[in-house]
Structure 1
Amino acid sequence: MTDDIVLRDNERIDDLNRAGFRIIQDPKVFCFGMDAVLLASYASSECRAMKKGSLKICDLGTGTGVIPILMAARESGDGACYDNVSDYDCVEIQPVSVDMAGRSIRLNHLEEHIKVHEGDINDVKLFLKAHSYDCVTSNPPYMSAHAGLKNPSDVKMIARHEILVDLDGICKAASTLLKCGGCFYMVHRPSRLVDIFSSLRKYSMEPKAVRMIHAREKEEANMVLVKARKDAKPQLTVLPPLFIYEDDNEYTKEVRDIYYGE
């Protein structure tokens, strides 16, 4: 037990390297990766730039809640002032992840700012108010429902494969929740960009920016950050690429800043 938070079997508490903010994870269930950290950093910097008072933000498929917790940590000045933290609603369908997210939120004393809703993203309008959010974030399943699928009920498989929700469903839910002019931030695979743009426009969200993420300078991109705006005019900006590693396999300065000092 830590800070009156009970840990289940196989769970651990990991440091998020942001002024003592932590998260509960179970390696047998799912642990967040670099994609979540990069998305949280990107969305947070964008939200800070547009902020006029507290924003209303929703994270779709929140898992253990790492994206809203990281964003809240940055908004708080790494714990200096919680008054600046936005209001977050998080949607997650897997009960085990909902439970971990809720305890991580309490562990970080963010109960007044982050709420977790156990529910289906495809039915989000049944339990969250439509057209009321300034920003929506999502780190959705990247892989198609049948790609390498072994156990469709496995928690990790559901997190990685489009079993319970697909890209189209994510974009539809984001559009349902966003105000006119609100922004959607997502991390995905570059190979799905055509599908991403198609689904965004299908639900009245205009792609506004993309940033390719490469492991190293001479390697192909393996992730992409995407920003879209609800009911916006067409104009896409291709941002400078982000490289993860230097030639000596150490993190680049930008990645070090994202993890430890932004």
Structure 2
Amino acid sequence: MFAEEDLTRDAFLGGRVQAWQPRHGYRAATDPVFLAAACDARPGQSVLELGCGAGVAGLCLAARVPGLRILGVERQAAYADLARRNGVDVVEADLTDLPDDLRRQSFDHVIANPPYYRAGHGTAADDPGREAALREDTPLDRWIAVAGRRLAPKGWLTMIQMTERLPDTLSALSGGFGSVTVLPLMPRQGRPAGRILLKARKAGRGPFTLLAPLCLHDGARHDRDGDSHGEIARAILRDGMPVVWGTPPKTRSI
């Protein structure tokens, strides 16, 4: 477990969410916030997060949508303990070896921020917790297969992933998902999208939809200190506005 002096208390959604995180290791930034904003859950529904870490995505989702039943799965004991301290209901388990009682449950939504890098690719992180969060041990197609088994009929999977892993993701979804919609997250105008948000419906029959990118920052380059997020990105990250899977409306706060 993390020692008290190795933790920080961090704010998300403009301070609406407070979460303990390790000072060193995997630290949630904007990706879990975007993931939570992309989930179209409604009050009274159930949500399972695979690989929840310290629980930031679930906390942000709960802050926006009241009355959800949210359960996290996390295999790293220290992070599972931290998520519980943050107020998240967590099962400590490997997603490929879930306990029997969880395998008997189904959920309206599954959300996930799987490791971005394939095994053996890139430079390994010094911290084992960060390494486990960023580089896959369990292949991406297993994450998606587990999500499909835990979803109720016509349930929704929502993910955030690196753009370069989109072909792998779409290939894995082809076995049991449809109605796939992809929203690229572009850091600045004219830059390639580094991340994608994706939602897919179990046994969905709708067409594949590729939306226009959401530009995260104003300006062509970073040329000043402070917050340079664009209006929509700022509303999501600061005010708790949901991701709109279509034409963005005027911004609004929760």
Alignment TM-score, normalising by the size of structure 1: 0.83
Residue 205 of structure 1 is matched in structure 2 by: 177
Q: 2:116 aligns with which of 142, 158, 163?
A: 142
Provide the rounded CA distance (Å) in 2 between the counterparts of 1:21 and 1:151: 28
- 2-side partners of 1:102 and 1:215: how far apart? 33
The question of whether the paired residues in 1 share the 8 Å contact of 2:25 and 2:127 is answered with no
Q: Which residue pairs with 1:246 in the alignment?
A: 218
Q: Take 2:205 and 2:141, find their aligned partners in 1: how far apart are those partners?
A: 21
Q: How many angstroms apart in 2 are the aligned matches of 1:151 and 1:28?
A: 11
Alignment partner of 2:57 out of 39, 62, 67: 67
Question: Structure 1 residues 130 and 224, CA, compared in 2 at 3 Å: closer, same or farther?
Answer: farther
TM-score (norm 2): 0.85
Give me the whole-angstrom Cα distance separating, in 1, the residues matched to 2:20 and 2:122.
Answer: 28
Task: Provide closer, same or farther for how the CA distance between residues 153 and 120 of structure 1 changes in structure 2, counting only shifts above 3 A.
Answer: farther
Query: Structure 1 residue aligned with 2:75, among 82, 93, 97?
Result: 93
Aligned pair count reads: 233
Aligned to 1:108: none
Runs of 4+ in 1 over 6 A off after TM superposition: none
- Local SS of the residue matching 1:128: helix
Q: 1: CA distance between counterparts of 2:34 and 2:166? A: 18
Q: Is the 8 A contact 1:189 1:224 kept in 2?
A: yes
Correspondence for 2:4: 8
* RMSD of aligned Cα (Å): 2.0
The residue that corresponds to 1:111 in the other structure is none
Q: Percent identity?
A: 26
1:22-41 counterparts in 2 under 5 A?
A: 22-41=18-37
Which consecutive unaligned segments of at least 5 residues does structure 1 have? 1-5, 76-83, 106-113
Shift of 1:197: 0.9
Q: In 1, Cα distance between the equivalents of 2:126 and 2:140?
A: 17
Decide whether the 8 Å contact of 1:55 with 1:134 is kept in 2.
Answer: yes
